[in-house]
Structure 1
Amino acid sequence: MSYGLLKGKKGIISGALDENSIAWKVALKAKEEGATFTLTNAPIAMRMGAINQLAEQCDAKVIAADATSVEDLEKLYTESMDVLGGKVDFVLHSIGMSPNVRKGKQYGDLNYEWYMKSLDVSALSFHKFMQVAEKVDAINEWGSFVALSYIAAQRAFPFYNDMADAKATLESIARSYGYRYAKAKKVRVNTISQSPTPTTAGTGIGGFDSFFEFADKMSPLGNASADDCANYVITLFSDLTRMVTMQNLFHDGGYSTTGISEDLMAMIQKNA
């Protein structure tokens, strides 16, 4: 069911790899709610994924851009404004990658060059998205930036490795740039801390299946799906949330504020 929440709005959605991606779901929902937008991803991710299929469904142009490259981001904004016929109203940052996680390096044995890559791709790219947008004046007043985060930014999850540090940095950038952009252009900046979600990236983390089940039993509402997350992102793009900024918003079925659940206690007692 469409509510027309984004009617007339323009945007940029990054990070859609395949139909399991949260960004993919956001694009479909944004189209349904009346938005026009461009899609972007790194060239290598575009070769691995199915973004052109999504572009056809959404009648959207795909613009390749390395999110760590200021030059590529300048091109992304310039081309997007040309294609869309003006400044944009929303940007989704759905980008994260850790070479250390991919290659099985433990937190006490990190490759520091890879660690810096994790930070650059997963966190500093969000700052670059906003700094470039501000400099080229690409965002309308009351625009909205949203990035996807995870609770490992606040709590220790050993399997999440250096991505936890990257997410903590991401959330800090959202607060600092959120203040700056609100004062300058009334643009709001938020992160969403999502439940464990079986995306292509998420399932690549060791022990994902076990933790997915654990989180589902801990959360009184269960894990939030990618579709649920897309709905939440749309509200943050819409005018309904004009006064929400600099926040990390937990979208996790209540996991983040539950000490222990009855389901988990029953499971422990059964196995005792």
Structure 2
Amino acid sequence: MAYNLLKGKRGIIFGALDSNSIAWKVAERAYEEGATFTLTNVPVALRMGETQKLAEKCNTEVIPADATNVEDLEKLIVRSMEVLGGKLDFILHSIGMSPNIRKGKHYSDLDYGFLDKTLDVSALSFHKVMQTAKKLDAINEWGSVLALSYVAAQRTFYGYNDMADAKSLLESIARSFGYIYGREKNVRVNTISQSPTPTTAGSGVKGFDRLLDFSERMSPLGNASADECADYCIVMFSDLTKKVTMQNLFNDGGFSSMGMSLQAMEQYNKGFQLSDDPKHKYD
């Protein structure tokens, strides 16, 4: 059901690769709610993905841009304002990748060149997007800028590797830039910490299927789906959340507040038998 929450609003959505992408779901919901927007991704992702199909569905334009390249971002934002007929009201940053994860590098044996790339693509690009938009005065008053994060920014998760560092930096950028953008332009900046979601990028994390199962058992409401994350993003783009800024907002079924759930404990007990030997009581 649509509520016209974004009627008359304009935006840019980064990262819609295919129908499994959270950004893809956000674009579909934004269109349903009356928004106009452009879609963007790096050229190689656009060649590999299905973004043009989404653009046709949402009656919009795809503008190739490398989010780590300021010149590309300037062209993207200027062109978007031309296409949309005015300043922006929302931006979604849904970008993340780790060459170290792709290459199977252990966190204690990182390739630092790969790490630089991880941080640039997954976090610094968020700063570059906002800095470029601010210099171009491209976002209307009470606009909303969002990035997608994960609870690994606060806790250690096996296999999440240097992406955890990137998400920590991403959330810090949201707070620091949120203060400046809010004070000077009344633009709000937030991150949404989403449940593990079977997207193309997320599925590349080692042991992802087990992480998905674990978080489902741990969360009182279960994992939040990509569609549910899209709903949250729409609310954050709308005027209903005009005074929410500099926050990391958990959309994870309660996982982030849990220590141990009954379901997780029962599964743990099934797979592990305590030894009668007192020396191994807590093994």
TM range (shorter): over 0.9
Structure 2 stretches of 5 or more lacking a match? 274-283
Structure with max Cα Rg: 2
Instruction: Give the C-alpha shift of residue 83 in structure 1.
Output: 0.4
Instruction: Give the C-alpha shift of residue 205 in structure 1.
Output: 1.1
Identical pairs, percent: 69
Within 5 A, what are the aligned runs for 1:106-185? 106-185=106-185
What's the secondary structure of 1:159's corresponding residue?
A: coil
Q: Which residue of 1 aligns with 2:262?
A: 262
Q: Which residue of 2 aligns with 1:28?
A: 28
What's the secondary structure of 1:64's corresponding residue?
A: coil
What's the secondary structure of 1:62's corresponding residue?
A: coil
C-alpha distance in 1, partners of 2:270/2:16?
41
How far does the alpha carbon of each residue in 1:50-100 deviate from its partner, in whole angstroms, 9 at most, with x for none?
000000000010000000000000000000000000000000000001000
Q: Which residue of 1 aligns with 2:280?
A: none
C-alpha distance in 1, partners of 2:243/2:180?
15
Instruction: Give the C-alpha shift of residue 140 in structure 1.
Output: 0.3
What's the secondary structure of 1:191's corresponding residue?
A: strand
Instruction: Give the C-alpha shift of residue 223 in structure 1.
Output: 0.3
C-alpha distance in 1, partners of 2:90/2:264?
39
Q: Does 1:232 align with 2:232?
A: yes
C-alpha distance in 2, partners of 1:121/1:266?
39
Structure 1 stretches of 5 or more lacking a match? none
Within 5 A, what are the aligned runs for 1:85-104? 85-104=85-104
C-alpha distance in 2, partners of 1:24/1:270?
38
How far does the alpha carbon of each residue in 1:178-225 deviate from its partner, in whole angstroms, 9 at most, with x for none?
000001110000000000000011111110001100000000000000
Q: Does 1:53 align with 2:71?
A: no
Moved more, 258-267 or 128-137: 258-267
Instruction: Give the C-alpha shift of residue 268 in structure 1.
Output: 1.7
How far does the alpha carbon of each residue in 1:118-153 deviate from its partner, in whole angstroms, 9 at most, with x for none?
000000000000000000110000000000000000
How far does the alpha carbon of each residue in 1:21-63 deviate from its partner, in whole angstroms, 9 at most, with x for none?
0000000000000000000000111111000000000001000
Instruction: Give the C-alpha shift of residue 267 in structure 1.
Output: 1.2
What's the secondary structure of 1:63's corresponding residue?
A: coil
Q: Which residue of 1 aligns with 2:216?
A: 216
Instruction: Give the C-alpha shift of residue 270 in structure 1.
Output: 2.4
What's the secondary structure of 1:231's corresponding residue?
A: helix
Q: Which residue of 1 aligns with 2:206?
A: 206
Q: Which residue of 2 aligns with 1:84?
A: 84
What's the secondary structure of 2:159's corresponding residue?
A: helix
Amino acid at match of 1:65: A
TM-score by length of 1: 0.99
What's the secondary structure of 2:132's corresponding residue?
A: helix
Q: Which residue of 2 aligns with 1:3?
A: 3
C-alpha distance in 1, partners of 2:87/2:134?
11
Amino acid at match of 1:79: R
Q: Which residue of 1 aligns with 2:13?
A: 13
C-alpha distance in 1, partners of 2:153/2:265?
26
TM-score by length of 2: 0.95
Amino acid at match of 2:233: V
Instruction: Give the C-alpha shift of residue 158 in structure 1.
Output: 2.5
Instruction: Give the C-alpha shift of residue 265 in structure 1.
Output: 1.3
C-alpha distance in 2, partners of 1:270/1:44?
45
Q: Does 1:41 align with 2:41?
A: yes
Amino acid at match of 1:228: E
C-alpha distance in 2, partners of 1:178/1:94?
17
C-alpha distance in 2, partners of 1:212/1:270?
18
C-alpha distance in 2, partners of 1:205/1:229?
20
C-alpha distance in 2, partners of 1:199/1:42?
17
Instruction: Give the C-alpha shift of residue 230 in structure 1.
Output: 0.1
